[in-house]
């Protein structure tokens, strides 16, 4: 069932109102549609079975984060009486109502896929998630021993009475509410008790081979606790045991104008994330109405925030199966990332860059050259300084190790760390401390503006002069996501680009006015204006009878001025192709306004993360890669870098493989309809199936 509201038919006048709410899709509803597309991958039989389970878990995680941030923000607006609307003119209370409808549908579908599709198909492959009814006596005895050994010592049941009020429930943790009957040792009458599942224990437990010789069997921690929860209440009768999970507001609030020390302010805010206002309550499907109502009352939630689920409430924890099962036939085949041939000819990356830029497309090409770039800089006696931005890095980062080695080797190392990278705040605070201990200079960017640009600059003495070398990227300096996300990285010794990067670092670490850049576009100063100018130039060319085209690939399109510029360009005759993975607030296919705009989303094995902007420019194309999407936050409230691809070979490579290849995808592409829904592309009767990501794997690997 599709719950996206149909747009009203528009009567197009000579000068249509491009601010009409009917021309804009709601941001939050568009994000839910993205999650629907991810969930569809769990049903796609072309994907290996364990990968389908992974997509199901990703959809569940996405929905959690959607409630933690987006729904929480809307709920706060409603709480404080805000009626502010976006370009779509939907009030927060109406958006919340529609979100509730769609999210309930998605949750029901998640568990239908799990129970009716994936679990039976896993069983056919001799992989079983055993329910309690399937435990044979010998296995039951093993589970009982496991409970006594692993769970019982760390469980702390809390009986609810005047001396034991309802406990503070952690965000997204697994809990049980127990209904008891009888009297305890002190003569207290039974009632309700709360049991928290230990966060230190795995949610998926492998059954020993002696109990499952011919199969890979697993049991869930929730099943173990459910089976033996009575052991926690001796002499009393357990009338019911029901799992539940609460999702809370996880956005952190730091008043930029009042903060003296951003790191300390964030350290103070992080603990509150676990206990902020509740946004959603998930309970077991068999939970009685009176207990559900009791829980809703405890968390100050209304009925529309209740989600009854037929399975584990912490569905995303099933992702552990992906790592526990050694079945190469049930996962995507492995591959070896490519290395550009020029990097194989010499081990000195600085010499290589003297002869031209190196463009990398991850994960099809290795992330190792970026790490080697820093490693060589850390040990090269000719290198004087290294500057880098860090947004997300991951554990045991080779990038961070190279920076620390460089500082210990006497290089001037300056690192701009964005402490407010959502859900990585704690890790980044620890990272800042580690780098400072190694001797690096650490700054936290510009107060009020997230540092989202991805940049490295190495200064090296060569003869009597200093030369700068630069890496610019569309993604993070995170080795794990470099294997999972598609991102471009440019290594260059172009001195105009390097000078621009140097100026950006000066802006972030010092004080002073923004200076004019030669080649880079940056947020919050020139990127938005420049994108508008480039779009409008295409419209002017179209009106002059010249060929005109815009192709843009990004994660999200929200910013209204850019949307209106695209509408105007479409009306002028510009052919516009948008490849947008997630949110798209532009409404394509509106007669007389967006007839020439086509929007597609690619959902596949890798998360599409590249940002590429192409403008035909009367046959002399402008091509940019960027860290920024076309969203207000990227264009006005972040420090972003957008860099030109000027050398012919990498430019042609991006146009052919990074844009046209995606426009010809007819298997993993979803086409945005004018009503806000998406239709999956299918090969025509005489067309061969084409997957953009598979084409890139075949080309590089």
Contact 235, 276 (CB under 8 A): no
Evaluate whether 531 touches 611 at the Cβ level (below 8 Å). Answer: no
Catalytic pick among 452, 528, 609, 616: 452
CA dihedral 230, 236, 240, 244 (to 10 degrees): -60
For 198, the 3-state DSSP assignment is: coil
Would you call 452 a catalytic residue per the annotation? Answer: yes
Secondary structure (3-state) at 481: helix
Tokens of 226: 């459910």
Q: For strand 204-206 and strand 175-181, is the pairing parallel, antiparallel, or unpaired?
A: unpaired
Rounded-to-integer distance, Cα 54 and Cα 75, Å: 30
Enclosing H/E stretch for 507? helix 495-509
CB atoms near residue 660 (< 10 Å): 14
CA–CA dist 650, 148 (Å, integer): 61
Q: Which of 370, 439, 371 is CA-nearest to residue 404?
A: 439
Contact call for residues 280 and 254 (beta carbons, < 8 A): no
Give the angle subtended at the CA of 679 by the CAs of 677 and 684, to the nearest 5°: 160
- From CA 453, how far away is CA 525, in angstroms rounded? 13
Contact indicator for 700, 661 with CB cutoff of 8 Å: no
**Does residue 181 sit in helix, strand or coil?**
strand
Q: Which residue, 500, 496, 497, 578, is CA-closest to 535?
A: 578
Closest C-alpha to 67, from 37, 26, 107, 38? 107
Query: How many residues does this entry show for the chain?
Result: 701
Closest CA to 221 of 246, 200, 237: 200
| Best CA proximity match to 146, nearest among 74, 228, 47 | 228
DSSP, collapsed to helix, strand or coil, labels residue 529 as: helix
Q: How far apart are CA 276 and CA 67, in angstroms?
A: 13
Give bridge partners of residue 639 from the DSSP assignment: 451
Distance, in Å, from the CA atom of 606 to the CA atom of 627, rounded to the nearest integer, reads 18
For residue 363, say if its preceding peptide bond is cis, omega within 30 degrees of 0. yes
Contact residues for 626 (Cβ-Cβ < 8 A; gap 6+): 474, 521, 527, 611, 612, 613, 640, 641, 642, 643
Q: Kindly list the catalytic residues.
A: 452
């Amino acid at each position: 069932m599709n719950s996206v509201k149909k747009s009203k038919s528009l009567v197009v006048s000579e000068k249509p109102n491009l601010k009409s709410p009917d021309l804009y899709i709601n941001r939050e509803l568009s994000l839910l549609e993205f999650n629907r597309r991810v969930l569809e991958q769990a049903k796609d039989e072309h994907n290996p079975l364990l990968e389908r389970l992974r997509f199901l878990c990703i959809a569940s995680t996405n929905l959690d984060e959607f409630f933690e941030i987006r729904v929480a923000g809307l709920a706060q607006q409603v709480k404080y009486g805000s009626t502010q609307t976006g370009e779509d003119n939907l009030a927060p209370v109406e958006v919340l109502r529609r979100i509730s409808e769609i999210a309930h549908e998605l949750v029901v579908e998640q568990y239908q896929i799990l129970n009716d599709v994936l679990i039976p198909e896993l069983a056919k492959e001799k992989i079983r998630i055993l329910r309690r009814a399937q435990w044979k006596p010998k296995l039951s005895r093993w589970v009982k021993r496991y409970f006594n050994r692993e769970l019982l010592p760390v469980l702390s049941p809390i009986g609810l009475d005047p001396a034991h009020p309802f406990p503070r429930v952690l965000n997204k943790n697994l809990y049980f509410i127990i209904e008891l009957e009888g009297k305890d040792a002190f003569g207290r009458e039974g009632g309700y008790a709360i049991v928290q599942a230990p966060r230190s224990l795995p949610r998926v437990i492998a059954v020993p081979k002696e109990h499952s010789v011919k199969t890979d069997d697993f049991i869930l921690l929730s099943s173990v606790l459910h089976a033996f929860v009575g052991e926690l209440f001796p002499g009393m009768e357990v009338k019911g045991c029901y799992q539940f999970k609460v999702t809370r507001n996880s956005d952190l609030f730091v008043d930029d104008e009042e903060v003296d020390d951003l790191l300390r302010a964030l350290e103070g805010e992080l603990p509150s994330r676990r206990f902020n206002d509740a946004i959603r309550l998930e309970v077991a499907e068999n939970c009685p109405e009176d207990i559900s109502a009791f829980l809703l009352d405890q968390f100050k939630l209304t009925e529309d925030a209740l989600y009854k689920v037929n399975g584990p409430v912490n569905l995303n924890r099933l992702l552990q199966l992906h790592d526990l099962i050694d079945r190469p036939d049930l996962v995507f085949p492995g591959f070896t990332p490519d290395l550009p041939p020029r990097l194989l000819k010499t081990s000195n990356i600085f010499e290589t860059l003297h002869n031209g830029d190196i463009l990398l497309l991850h994960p099809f090409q290795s992330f190792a050259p970026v790490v080697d770039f820093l490693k060589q800089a850390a040990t090269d006696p000719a290198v004087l300084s290294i500057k880098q931005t860090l947004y997300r890095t991951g554990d045991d980062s080779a990038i961070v190790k190279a920076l620390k080695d460089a500082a210990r080797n006497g290089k001037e190392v300056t690192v701009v760390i964005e402490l407010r990278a959502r859900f990585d705040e704690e890790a980044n605070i620890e990272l800042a401390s580690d780098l400072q201990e190694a001797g690096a200079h650490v700054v936290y960017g510009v107060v009020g503006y997230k540092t989202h640009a991805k940049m490295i600059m190495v200064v090296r003495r060569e003869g009597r002069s200093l030369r700068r070398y630069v890496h610019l990227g569309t993604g993070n300096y995170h080795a794990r996501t470099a294997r999972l996300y598609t991102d471009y990285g440019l290594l260059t010794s172009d001195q105009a680009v390097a000078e621009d990067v140097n100026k950006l670092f000066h802006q972030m670490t010092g004080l002073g006015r923004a200076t004019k850049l030669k080649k880079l576009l940056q947020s919050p100063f020139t990127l938005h204006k420049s994108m508008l100018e480039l779009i409008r130039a295409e419209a002017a060319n179209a009106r002059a009878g010249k060929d005109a085209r815009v192709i843009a690939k990004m994660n999200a399109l929200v910013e209204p001025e850019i949307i209106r510029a695209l509408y105007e360009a479409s009306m002028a005759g510009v052919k516009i192709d948008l490849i947008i993975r997630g949110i798209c607030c532009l409404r394509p296919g509106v007669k007389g306004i967006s007839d020439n705009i086509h929007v597609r989303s690619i959902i596949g094995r890798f998360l599409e993360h590249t940002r590429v902007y192409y403008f035909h420019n009367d046959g002399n194309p402008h091509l940019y890669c960027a860290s920024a999407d076309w969203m207000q936050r990227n264009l006005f409230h972040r420090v972003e870098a957008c860099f030109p691809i000027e050398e012919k070979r990498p430019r042609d490579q991006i146009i052919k493989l990074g844009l046209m290849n995606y426009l010809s995808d007819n298997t993993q592409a979803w086409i945005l309809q004018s009503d806000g829904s998406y239709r999956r592309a299918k090969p025509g009767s005489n067309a061969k199936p084409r997957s953009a990501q598979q084409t890139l794997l075949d080309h590089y690997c």
